[in-house]
Structure 1
Amino acid sequence: MKLKGLKNASGCMCLLIVGALFSFIGWRMGAANMLNTVMHTAHDLLLNTCFYLMSICVITGAIGKLFVEFRVVDLFEKMLRPLMKPLFNLPGMASLGAVLTFLSDNPAIITLSKDKRFASHFKKFQFISLTNFGTAFGMGLIVIVFMIGAGYYVEPFIGFVGAFAGCIISTRCMQHFVLKAYPQYRDEVAVDFEPTSADDGSEQTPLERKSTFLRTLNSLLDGGKMGVEVGLSIIPGVLIISSLVMILTFGPSTSGAYTGAAYEGIELLPDVANVFAGFFDAVFGFSDPHQIAFPITALGAVGAALSLVPNFQAHGWIDGNAIAVFTAIGMCWSGFLSTHTAMLDSLGYRELTSKAIISHTIGGLGAALVAHWIYLLYMLAV
């Protein structure tokens, strides 16, 4: 009976919150205008943003698969390996996770961690922090290519440096929290692994010989197919999260009246941002209160956050600093609120989810701060 009562209470609470939110929006815009705006906004996002993002995912997926096939990933991994221990307190093997998540998405680190040979190189506290480490680079290539496509060439790479710094902060914070709660994890190995003849490659059957042309073609097509899957997975976040965020960000039409057209809204988020303008200016360097919508959306889905950029450009609400900060916080957070629970659950450490979320929130803010100040130094230099 008690469980049934809790279910009823949660259902009533959900209904109350959803009803209050849309009643407030409908009261400001008019019910008919609100519904028309939601549908028109979602339709326009699907046609002009989701398919554009999907095309980027297909291209970057093909490039990523090509890099894997011809061992460019191994080259990057060897270059990054010396940085792992001094910066992230992780074994050199972790650099492979950074490269793979940068080329694809957050869950790639979990797929890699399921390899017992890979996991055996980590202590338990290091292994758990892989969730934060991998998330900070998720969809990095897609974010950078999108920003370059928007006409910014230096700022995305400044943002990448900021995301790198945010990753260090997040990973180190997570390790601190884990060791504070479980000191024994400092010396315990994540996975006990005894290599066999099959694991060391001595008895592996030789790979089928293929021409360079065929390997290239197969890599491009397979990578592009994976890009389509990533693009499809982005669509729900863009249509649901972005539509709501845009209604809360944008205002009425140029005439000041609501017409039910796409991208109209009640400007609630800018009003809230104005209250904390000093904080956002110091941490992010935001020049317009509407820009706060990007980091809020990136908490749930970075693809949805990217969909805000074209409209911000059309309204003249963003500058180079915003692009650098957007890239940093978009890469570092990359929708971690929607993935961290599942990622830690798959690793078997669900109870540490709250610590991972706190660590990554701090890391994302650190990424934004670093990107902002590097951009200021860059502007002084030029």
Structure 2
Amino acid sequence: MTLLSISQVRRRFGDVVALDGVSLDIEEGEFFALLGPSGCGKTTLLRILAGFETADEGTVLLSGNDLTRVPAHQRPINLMFQSYALFPHLSVAGNIAYGLQRERLAKPEIRQRVAEVLERVGLAHAAKRRPQQLSGGQRQRVALARAIVKRPRLLLLDEPHSALDRKVRAEMQLWLKELQHEVGITFVVVTHDQEEAMSMADRIAVLNHGAVEQVADPVTLYGSPTTHFVADFIGANNFFEGKATASGLNTSDFGQLPARAGAVAEGSKAFLAVRPEQVTLNGGALSGRVLDVSFYGGLSRVAVSVDQRDTPVLVHQHGAPRVAPGDTVGLGWAAEDAVLVRP
């Protein structure tokens, strides 16, 4: 069931178009990610959902109710800020209880709900500590606990892991996903980190220059991108330019290259995108010379120079490298492993 419906939302800041007709439907209980580079409009959209920004055009419906003129404090939505915005003079329990106290709930109910959420996020032992006595991961948990204790219909998260180091970030991503399933609240997270979005979200909207490029689950986004931007932004890819045909791509430099049908009409300008792990070095449509080989334990990365091509073709092989710089190799891939995308 659709919880949040965003229709043709536009927002300008002077000459800058932050959002250009964004439309999205987000399901109840879904973990939804807004993914894109800096300046693509994702944080502006999040602030419009929270009520901190007003759209120039378009509507935002929550369970069919128009939120356009509902002030932020009256929306059943919570926003967890990128900085966490914890009160340094309050204890962990005090930070979590603050919103409930503002709603003038009875003290016994506040104590009960704070205790429940502290247990849920694993911080019952730290209830009396101040934020400066906590690690980065613990401060994030306090911020999340403060948000979910009010039991919002929708929780918005703005770059929730940006302040954490790599190891803690990976742990918190897993924990956050588990928490979302446990509490059953719909999460919308803004991130520029593709790995974070791919590992956490049920579905992802990829934004570029204020517009939605594609909405899909992580597997579809990786394996079947529809545009050059999405194919380039999500993971590594090798691109070849030409005209779409029934069996792949017709190029001026390399002739016919195999690919499965994509989101491009036959005869139209297109790019063939093939992932490095799908390219083999045992013959195929192309040939080239190995420029560089890098070994990363379980993975070898090979760069191959091909005549008439400005950038090398990247190949990923499992295990130790089986070629060396200077070797001449063939390059190939199965048609089903390459996709045609729009420019």
Q: Which structure is higher in helix share?
A: 1
After TM superposition, the score normalised by the length of structure 2 is: 0.22
- Greater RCO, CA 8 A, separation 6+: 1
Greater strand content: 2
Q: Which has the larger radius of gyration?
A: 2
